[in-house]
Amino acid sequence: MEEKKWEPLSKKDLWKVFFRSYWIRTVNCPDRMQSLGLTCSITPVVEKYYPTKEERAEVMTRYLDEYFLTNPVMAEWIIGIVISIEEKIAQTGAITRDAVSGVKTALMGPLAAIGDGLYNGTLRPVIAGIACALALDGNPIAPILFLLVMAGVNVFIRWTGIFWGYRQGASFFTRLQESGMLKKLIEAASLVAFMVVGAFAATNVTVNLGISWVTEGTETVTTLQSVLDGIMPKCLPLGFTLFTWWLIEKKHLKPLLLIVLYLLGGILLYYLGILA
């Protein structure tokens, strides 16, 4: 049997974990979700600190058997903290493996809220709105801008999660949660996201009705569009946006399916004279 030696994790080890962490959502099993991706990510650390196949199998089986699910971009923060604990276990043996389970359970929810609220719920619609506005003006940089910003932020969050999470441990998010700043940060981000989506619906969503009539005794042509805009400007784009949200969130329709249905429905309504 090989003699078990302890060495601190090197930058090379951390980079191995970083690249493997992109597999976090590759395979999701129904009962343990991202546990396989998490186990794959920390494999270099397990191989470094557990020389025998039996020891590695015991540790990895525990990771595989435990439920794990969080925002995939923020998962790297948990991975960084977990490998920090694994290093301490290998160094001193004073920390029980229950500490790893406790950290994962405690941070899954808060980090999922941060990732879903800030990255998916705020940054994505903001950058998408800017890119769509540029695209409507014919600017070819629009898709490149969206790709560079989203990918750049994605890589930065993952990198800080592995390297800073490894150095900071769980104390950073514990302090953030206990101070109440985490809740305020998520609420503020949600408010900004709602404002951006509302502005995007008003400025970039267009619904033009083709229904019109001539007032008897005059030659004045009145359109249904002008009547509705007189009651509430941009009410049709707002209603269309809310209807789309309802179909996605409540009826669970896929966005790709909605695009096809809207395309076919728009063509049909145009030929019927309902849309202009």
pLDDT for 188-230, tens place per residue? Answer: 656 655 666 676 677 778 888 888 777 776 677 778 888 888 8
Query: What is the chain's alpha carbon radius of gyration, rounded to the nearest angstrom?
Result: 26
Beta strands in 172-224 (DSSP E): 212-214, 221-223
Q: Tell me how long the chain is.
A: 276
Average pLDDT taken over every residue of the chain: 80
pLDDT band at 136 (very low <50, low <70, confident <90, very high): confident
pLDDT for 62-80, tens place per residue? Answer: 888 888 888 888 888 888 8
Cβ(46)–Cβ(59) under 8 Å? yes
